[in-house]
Amino acid sequence: MGSSRKFSAGLLLLCVFFFTKAVFAESTQLNGTHTFRVKRQGCQDGTYEHEGINCCKCAAGQRVAEHCTKTVSDGRCVFCENGSTYNSEPNSKVSCEICTSCDQENANLEEEEPCTPLKDRKCRCKEGHYCNSAEGSCKICHPCNRCSSTGVKEPCTLTSDAICKEESTGLSGGAVAGIVITVLVFVTVALGVVFRKKILGFWKRDASNPPGPVNDPLLPVDMEPHIVEVAEIIGWKVMSQIGLSCKMANAIDSVRHNHPGDSDMWTQELLRRWMELQGRAASVELIKTLRKMRHNNKADQIKEKLYPIDSPTV
């Protein structure tokens, strides 16, 4: 009787072992990345169609590593890389979204919330800076006004600049006299400069070889054959500033992710994306933009590269 009970108990434990192994998920670790194979009774996060078969979606924070097939009813999902990629919703993607960077040069941002497999990184303005973006997702923060001459009426916040006190309009007799004298001196100097320029202008008109126009308008040219040389002239620091001025912060993050540590490739790829954004007039706009940023030397070098002496102008 005792032997029969022991045999029954052992048989019951053996059945429970195989039943548990067949029903519950099997967790493995492959190359440092957690993977999951799940024997599904139903798809909790919905389904998607792949090659005519309905596969279960991966949960938020994961991506598809292997689609289900006719012979393998369960696909395989893997976690997004923590700190660099994420998926915030159940999905059928084979890749995760790249986390937003708070380290763009001259953007004055810092990390508020870290990036996890489930959600993107959240940035905020550094102390002494603000961004008035209505959406709350700032790409560039601006320095707060210090109101040095009048004092602060309302302090600067993360979303609004400081409001300065109004300047006093009451002036003493001495102050008025000082202003009048200053204006008179300024007007006298200005008239002298204008008169001098006119005299020089008349002299130049009488010269035997008068100078040509200072800024000849240029015709758009194809920059693609010269993109490596142009990118080398611009450099990554200036190219990233041009990209930020055109609201290309995501493109900056993307090129840095695609070519880790290679600033030359960052510059070339961001320049190529900027050219696509500008269209046919990219060559002309690039030279104009560099001059507005007071990089005249770079503008002259690129103009010499793209527009030789016999190049057509309008």
Taking the C-alpha atoms of residue 280 and residue 275, their distance in angstroms, rounded to an integer, is: 8
Res 11: pLDDT:
61
Res 178: pLDDT:
76
Taking the C-alpha atoms of residue 222 and residue 131, their distance in angstroms, rounded to an integer, is: 37
What are the residue boundaries of the structural domains of the chain, listed by start? 23-98, 100-112+122-164, 224-306
pLDDT at residue 160 tops 50? yes
Burial 78-113 (b: 16+ CB within 10 A, else e): bbbbeeebbbeebbbeeebebbbbbebeebbbeeee
Going by C-alpha positions, the residue among 83, 88, 137 that lies closest to residue 109 is 137
Name the pLDDT band for 39 (thresholds 50, 70, 90): very low
Taking the C-alpha atoms of residue 160 and residue 129, their distance in angstroms, rounded to an integer, is: 9
Res 138: pLDDT:
79
Say if 23-98 and 224-306 have the same CATH topology: no
Q: pTM of the entire structure?
A: 0.42
Averaged pLDDT of the chain? 80
Which of 258-262, 266-270, 307-311 has the least mean pLDDT?
307-311
CATH number of this structure's domain 224-306: 1.10.533
pLDDT at residue 313 tops 60? no
Burial 257-274 (b: 16+ CB within 10 A, else e): eeeeeebebbbbbbbbbb
Name the CATH superfamily, with its identifier, for domain 23-98.
Tumor Necrosis Factor Receptor, subunit A, domain 2 (2.10.50.10)
- How many Cα neighbours within 13 Å face the side chain of 80? 30
pLDDT at residue 28 tops 80? no
The answer to whether the beta carbons of residues 31 and 76 sit under 8 Å apart is no
pLDDT at residue 116 tops 90? yes
CA distances 82 to 59, 118, 251, Å, are: 15, 9, 21
Provide the 10 A C-beta neighbour count for residue 238.
Answer: 16
pLDDT digits (tens, 9 = 90+) for 182-202: 888 878 888 876 667 665 554
Which of 129-138, 159-168, 245-254, 275-284 has the least mean pLDDT?
129-138
Res 183: pLDDT:
87
Can you name the residues that pair with 64 across neighbouring β-strands?
Answer: 77
Helices (H), the chain: 2-23, 173-205, 227-234, 236-245, 249-258, 263-278, 282-292, 296-306
Res 270: pLDDT:
92
